[in-house]
Every structure is written in structure tokens, then in C-alpha cells.
Amino acid sequence: MIRVGIDMMGGDFAPEEALKGVAHFLESDDHAVHIVMFGDSHLIDEHLSALQLPADGYTLVHTSQSIDMHEHPTKALKEKPDSSIAVGFQQLAQGNIDAFISAGNTGAMMVGAMFSIKAIEGILRPTIGAYLPREDGSLGLLLDVGLNADCKPEHLNQFAILGSLYAEHILNIKSPKVGLVNIGEEEGKGNLLAQATYPLLKSNELIHFIGNVEGRDLLINKADVMVCEGFTGNVVLKMAESIHDIIKRRNIQDEYFDRFDFEAHGGVPVLGVAKPVIIGHGISHHTSFKNMLRIATKMVESDLNGKIKESLSQIL
């Protein structure tokens, strides 16, 4: 049975929304999944009775500490060994859970992922992807979106492989089109990084490379996987998020822009680390938690990491 761990103390509405997400997941999901919740059992118990969770569907692991949204990641993880995030990663590393999700301190989640469970052998840099909604109803995957502010061409080439496998096995896109985020259409355009990355992607037989994608292509279905360093990716993602805020503020009702609600997509995967880890938005509500549980389950079920290892073995 798959065991998915969830940090109950993370996010702006902890633990209620996480708990509701778990309840909805257990109600609606066919999968044989056991949920392991990490958090303050007193706080959680208060809300548990109202939700009627199936007793055999979950385990509650009491943790006496929690890491605040604004704490320094490394310091917090060190000084709070009994925090929900620290214990979650410990259990993940020990194999007691198969995946771990949290909407808590993003930095602590990244540091935890990198140092507790390490990168998959051969992976130079784990990466974080994010979804970009497209007008045709599909989702594109942009990566990196902030974990790697400075990159080398080989890093982007690996992001392309990681994103491609995620798009194929988790987003169910056959032979996903991979594009290099760039400032021009033709090969040879762009900054030094993009210029040096293009030939690597072009000769990479593990991916379906379609060339450059420009800023204007990010929200259309030109490429399914869009690769860049984490600086540009983060600026683009946060601008896209702000567009959704503006749309809401201006009371614009539109099906497409509603999908700019990044929360709805349920967190972003950390790719390239040895176990599935998903990081949610601080503002996550129950739907988001439910979706994160689903994605984590799918990452385990599809053995995404096994497929990543297999792919890497073909080129290393």
C-alpha cells in the first residue's frame, strides 16, 4: 500500500484545510493509499471528529514543533528536529512513507528535499516546476521556477528530461513537446546560456525538442515543457500569479483566467530528488491539498523516479 505523508502544519489555514483535503481525498479516491499526517495532534484532534475519516485510512504522527513561513530554512530545520517538516523528511528518508507534501515554508521543504533524501544519482540539480494554464484547456510545465537561479547548459538539459518524464507520466501527455525559453525563434538566438543549451537539447534523444519558445508562447500550446533557469522562470511564474490577482480584483469572470488560480493545480513537484516531494502554496485550500495528494500518489504509482533513473542510465 502506498503511504503518502502530509505536513498538517503548513499553509495559511493549517491544519483545517489540510485535514479537509485529506478527508476529500480519502472519500473520493479509488487508490489504496494510506495517509500519514504530521502535526500537532491536539490541534488536529479538535477538527478530526467533525470529519469522519475512515480510521484505517490514516495515521497521525504527533510533532511538537512547526516551522513558520518566515523562518530561515536551514536554521529552522536544524533547531526544530521535531517539526512536522523535519519529521516528515526523516520518515521519507527511512522509507516509512513513499512521498511527502507540504504547503509550509518553501525554503525548508527544498532544503529538506535536498539534504534528507538527496538527488537521484546522476542528477546535477533537482528542479521545481510549475504549471502554466493554456487557453486550450491544457497545462504547460515551466521549469525551473526558482530553485536554481544560476544554471549551466547541462542543468537545463536535465530539466528537459525531468520535465518531459513528468509531463508524460503525470500529466499524461504523449511525447511531450519540449521548448527552450528564449528571446528569439531561431537557433543561435538568446543569451550565452540559451545559445549553449540549444544544441544539447537538439541532440538529446530522450526528449521531443521543438526549438525556442518566446515569452508570447508561454501561455499557448506550443511546448508542453518549457525550460529555463530559475531566475526567469520565477519572475514569469510570479507575474502570471499576479495576473490572476488582478483579474480577481477587477471582477473579471473568465474560464481561462480562472485557471490562473495556481492553487487549484495542487502544488509543484520537486523533480530529481530520490522520493516524490510536492510543495504547495501557502494559501492552499482543501482542493489544493487533495490535488497534491493525488499527484504524489500518481508519482509513486507510475514509478516516475524509476523512469528518471532508467532515462539517465541511457545517457550517463
Q: How far is the CB of 282 from a second copy (least distance, A)?
A: 13
Q: How far is the CB of 184 from a second copy (least distance, A)?
A: 9
Residue with cell 537521484: 120
Which one, of 290, 276, 298, 281, lies nearest residue 171 by Cα?
A: 298
| Residue closer to a second copy (CB basis): 149 or 315 | 149
| Residue closer to a second copy (CB basis): 92 or 236 | 236
| Residue closer to a second copy (CB basis): 222 or 265 | 222
Q: Please say whether the beta carbons of 290 and 296 come within 8 A.
A: no
| Residue closer to a second copy (CB basis): 136 or 205 | 136
Q: Is the peptide bond preceding residue 199 cis, with omega within 30 degrees of 0?
A: no
Question: First CA to last CA across the chain, in angstroms?
Answer: 33
Q: How far apart are CA 113 and CA 278, in angstroms?
A: 10
Q: How far is the CB of 152 from a second copy (least distance, A)?
A: 12
Which amino acid type is present at position 266?
Answer: G
Q: How far apart are CA 292 and CA 279, in angstroms?
A: 8
| Residue closer to a second copy (CB basis): 181 or 270 | 181
Q: How far is the CB of 246 from a second copy (least distance, A)?
A: 6
C-alpha distances (whole Å) from 1 to each of 126, 148, 183, 233, 301 are 27, 34, 47, 36, 10
Burial of 253 (0-12, 13-18, 19+ CB in 10 A): exposed
| Residue closer to a second copy (CB basis): 240 or 293 | 240
Query: What is residue 276's three-state secondary structure?
Result: coil
- Residues at the site binding a second copy, with contacts judged by CB under 8 A: 135, 146, 149-150, 181, 183, 190-192, 194, 214-220, 228-232, 234-243, 245-246, 249-250, 252, 254, 256-257
Q: How far is the CB of 137 from a second copy (least distance, A)?
A: 13
- The DSSP result for 214-235, as a single string, is -GGGTTTTT-SEEE--HHHHHH
Q: How far is the CB of 146 from a second copy (least distance, A)?
A: 6
C-alpha distances (whole Å) from 201 to each of 120, 179, 193, 273 are 21, 9, 12, 22
| Residue closer to a second copy (CB basis): 218 or 274 | 218
Q: How far is the CB of 104 from a second copy (least distance, A)?
A: 18
**Residue 35 grid cell:** 495517509
